[in-house]
Amino acid sequence: MKALLSHETGGPETLRLSELPDPQPGPGELLVRVRAAAINFPDVLIIEDKYQLKPPRPFAPGGELSGEVEALGEGVEGWSVGDRIIAVTGFGALAEKVVIPARSAFRLPEERSFEEGAALLLTYATSIHAVVDRGKLQAGQTMLVLGAAGGVGLAAVELGKAFEARVIAAVSSEEKAKAALDAGADEAIVYSQGPFDREGQKALAQLFKDAVGPAGADVIYDPVGGDYTEAALRSIAWEGRFLVVGFPAGIARLPLNLTLLKSCDVCGVFWGAFAARDPKANAAHVESLFKLWRQGMISPKISDTYTLERAGDAIRAIAERRVIGKLVVRID
């Protein structure tokens, strides 16, 4: 089988298409013929050894996939050869075949394409865990979403509207603002590119404050980090919840007096650990996502597709923050 492998630490240019023996499923595992794999920011980090997961090399990046069951390991029940599945793998999806734990697979609805299926789980499962479990978002509350045109950002916008919240989308371009508004955001604001000096920080904070209104944002969803984090926190409501989702702009340092003044919570969102620690709760969230998908209230936005040979270009586009929604690699 073919796989796009990371043999050394570095950027997408270090990835090499290679031939490997077909893997075999062990007890409790499924052998999956991969049909599509979505690209996410962790794929940028994992090949640079900057992610919390550090698989031994060589390995294929690619953290989520769709495909068909090709073989079952000993003891696997509830699955058959030919079943269509989606799964989050952490890595390994940029390959023609992969072995996954059977417990990590979910059934792909028949009416959905492999490309759609590959683009669902990581962003929407992260976002529903964030806004429901960590943010405790309620109908009528205000949620500010940073990076609102990226994969997790658009998912948060759609879920916020599905839960009847007021959603303010913050993005870095007019094109991204349109994408967030098309996803249902009540308002979109465009911020300039950092890093910011002190005056720039003040202006950014005022932009957020003006957008959310005098009562502040009940929930702030931050998958961006860097200089944007403190500026956004200054717009939080009394007893608001600030959700720490990711750091493509860098890991922020917060003045903790702000949390005291607003009596607010800063909440980490680590969906992968949540799913491993509480698989029943995660499965319930996934079932909720399938229901919202059927109702047309969420729908992964795939802005481009790539071949396996060009998957490194997709990772580079994510690294350069040029992507609206999701990128998917077709593996035929």
Alpha carbons within 13 angstroms on the beta-carbon side of residue 229 total 24
| pTM for this prediction | 0.94
What is the chain's pLDDT, residue by residue, as a tens digit (332 residues)?
999 999 999 999 999 999 999 999 999 999 999 999 999 999 999 999 999 899 999 999 999 999 999 999 999 999 999 999 999 999 999 999 999 999 999 999 999 999 999 999 999 999 999 999 999 999 999 999 999 999 999 999 999 999 999 999 999 999 999 999 999 999 999 998 888 998 999 999 999 999 999 999 999 999 999 999 999 999 999 999 999 999 998 999 999 999 999 999 999 999 999 999 999 999 999 999 999 999 999 999 999 999 999 999 999 999 998 999 999 999 98
Number of H helices, E strands in the chain: 11, 15
Give the type of residue at 158. E
User: Cβ(203)–Cβ(189) under 8 Å?
Assistant: no
pLDDT tens, position by position, 254-310:
999 999 999 999 999 999 999 999 999 999 999 999 999 999 999 999 999 999 999
**How far, in Å, are 3, 33, 38, 228, 262 from residue 157 at the CA level?**
34, 32, 20, 18, 24
Listed residue (104, 8, 105) closest to 49, CA to CA = 8
pLDDT at 194: 80
The Cα–Cα gap between 62 and 329 comes to: 9
- Structural domains for the chain: 2-120+301-330 (3.90.180.10), 123-272 (3.40.50.720)
Listed residue (14, 97, 40) closest to 314, CA to CA = 40
User: By three-state DSSP, how is residue 25 classified?
Assistant: coil
